[in-house]
């Protein structure tokens, strides 16, 4: 048998390659499996600029129906989308389909029925939020019975599933972007507090802004920097006008902006496995995170050892811990050094090898 005939094919399916955490993970996985000799497809419902670049050698397919193919009936449009996606699977003949996020998981399962292709679905945030909906949650649990596997990001996330699905579930953490490993500064850090992520109510940047605005006069050499865009950005910019509160917007190569900063804060109400927190830890920043569902930060941080955990929406505790860190350079350095050890636990080599072992077991029907 020729080497070409032995080549395995993997199809990753997601809504788009817009610059979010789940999309970043999928693009990195596509590049990894390509490097391992797989034929790799990135299949997306649509194109949503700005997007991550498609890795070299990976084929991109847009699967949504066109405007010409749309009709007045939502049910008919859904059937047409499933049919179009099924035709894509028939054409590219993947050995396995890996889908990320909410409706995409259900579409992957529905469109592959009868094709004898294993499907692995993945919930990429708090499952209570991602599966929210009176009918969507039971529908998802019903459809997940037909998946070959379910990938969760946290141990707490697995507990959300009913017993008959837990046996299909595995916890697969995100790996660190290799460019963040070994890049942290041990000395000469700037007195900067950093926030990275979409600016919205769930990410809860307003809590940090309120606290910093309250304490900033006592710390004239400290500044607060926000990286990212979102629906709350303009409102917060208008509310907090201060030269020491800087909204940078979406930037390319955020590592270069934050690697010699001092403190990172993740104030979210809900998270899966937050890439921004992982990367800040790898860079050696002293990190404060809410202990939010579904347990991603708690899987990463041991309180007062390699970071600080605070209750969700607790402004008083955030103020206490921020002041504590801003007053104590030795504590910041201690927490930052311990945080960098996450690089070994979640190194791309280790995590990608786990993904490969798991994917190949599902292709083999195990």
Domain at 178-345, CATH homologous superfamily: Glycogen Phosphorylase B; (3.40.50.2000)
Q: Which CATH number fits domain 3-175+347-363: 3.40.50.2000, 3.20.20.70, 3.30.300.20, 3.40.50.980?
A: 3.40.50.2000
Q: CA 157 from chain center: how many Å?
A: 14
Q: What is the pLDDT along the chain (366 residues), one digit of tens a residue?
A: 344 457 999 999 999 999 888 998 999 999 999 999 999 999 999 999 889 999 999 999 999 988 888 888 999 999 999 999 999 999 999 999 999 999 999 999 999 999 999 999 999 988 998 999 999 999 999 999 999 999 999 989 999 999 999 999 999 988 888 788 876 656 689 999 999 999 999 999 999 999 999 999 999 999 999 999 999 999 999 999 999 999 999 998 899 999 999 999 999 999 988 989 999 999 999 999 999 998 999 999 999 999 999 999 999 999 999 999 999 999 999 999 999 999 999 999 999 999 999 999 999 998
Q: What is the pLDDT of residues 295-352, one digit of tens each?
A: 999 999 999 999 999 999 999 999 999 999 999 999 999 999 999 999 999 999 999 9
Q: How far is CA 324 from CA 105, 285, 340, in A?
A: 43, 15, 20
DSSP letter assigned to residue 174 = P
Look at the block and give the residue holding tokens 């990429």: 124
Domain layout of the chain by residue ranges:
3-175+347-363, 178-345
Q: What is the pTM of this model?
A: 0.82
CA dihedral 264, 159, 174, 55 (to 10 degrees): -130
b/e per residue 126-162 (b: at least 16 CB within 10 A): bbebbbeeeeeeeebeebbeebbbbbbbbebbbebbe
- Same CATH topology for 3-175+347-363 and 178-345? yes
Distance between CA atoms of 347 and 261, rounded to whole angstroms? 22
Q: What is the per-residue DSSP string for 198-211?
A: --STTTTHHHHHHH
Q: What is the pLDDT of residues 204-220, one digit of tens each?
A: 999 999 999 999 999 99
């Amino acid at each position: 048998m020729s080497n070409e005939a032995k080549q395995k094919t993997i199809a990753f399916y997601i809504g788009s390659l817009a610059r979010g955490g789940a999309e970043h993970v999928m693009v990195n996985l596509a590049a990894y499996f390509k490097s391992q000799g797989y034929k790799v497809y990135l299949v997306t419902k649509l194109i949503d600029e700005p997007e991550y670049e498609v890795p070299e050698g990976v084929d991109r397919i847009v699967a949504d129906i066109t405007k010409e193919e749309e009709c007045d009936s939502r049910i008919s449009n859904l059937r047409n989308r499933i049919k179009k996606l099924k035709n894509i699977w028939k054409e590219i003949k993947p050995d396995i389909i890996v889908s990320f996020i909410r409706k995409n998981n259900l579409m992957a399962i529905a469109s592959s029925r009868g094709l004898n292709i294993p499907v692995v679905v993945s919930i990429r945030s708090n499952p209570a939020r991602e599966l929210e909906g009176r009918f969507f949650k039971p529908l998802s649990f019903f459809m997940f019975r037909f998946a070959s596997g379910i990938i969760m990001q946290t141990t707490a996330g697995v507990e959300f599933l009913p017993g008959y699905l837990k046996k299909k579930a595995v916890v697969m953490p995100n790996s660190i972007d290799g460019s963040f490993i070994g890049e942290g500064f041990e000395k000469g850090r700037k007195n900067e507090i950093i926030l990275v992520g979409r600016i919205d109510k769930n990410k809860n940047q307003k809590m940090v802004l309120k606290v910093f605005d309250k304490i900033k006069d006592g710390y004239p050499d400290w500044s607060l920097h926000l990286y990212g865009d979102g629906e709350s950005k303009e409102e917060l910019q208008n509310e907090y006008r201060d030269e020491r509160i800087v909204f940078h917007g979406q930037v390319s190569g955020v590592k270069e902006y934050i690697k010699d900063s001092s403190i990172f804060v993740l104030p979210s109400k809900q998270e899966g496995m937050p890439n921004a927190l992982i990367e800040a830890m790898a860079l050696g920043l002293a990190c404060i995170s809410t202990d939010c569902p579904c347990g991603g930060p708690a899987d990463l941080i041991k309180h007062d050892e390699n970071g600080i955990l605070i209750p969700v929406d607790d402004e008083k505790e955030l103020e206490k811990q921020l002041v504590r860190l801003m007053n104590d350079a030795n504590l910041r350095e201690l927490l930052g050094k311990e945080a960098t050890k996450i690089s070994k636990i979640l190194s791309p080599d280790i995590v990608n090898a786990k993904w490969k072992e798991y994917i190949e077991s599902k292709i083999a029907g195990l």
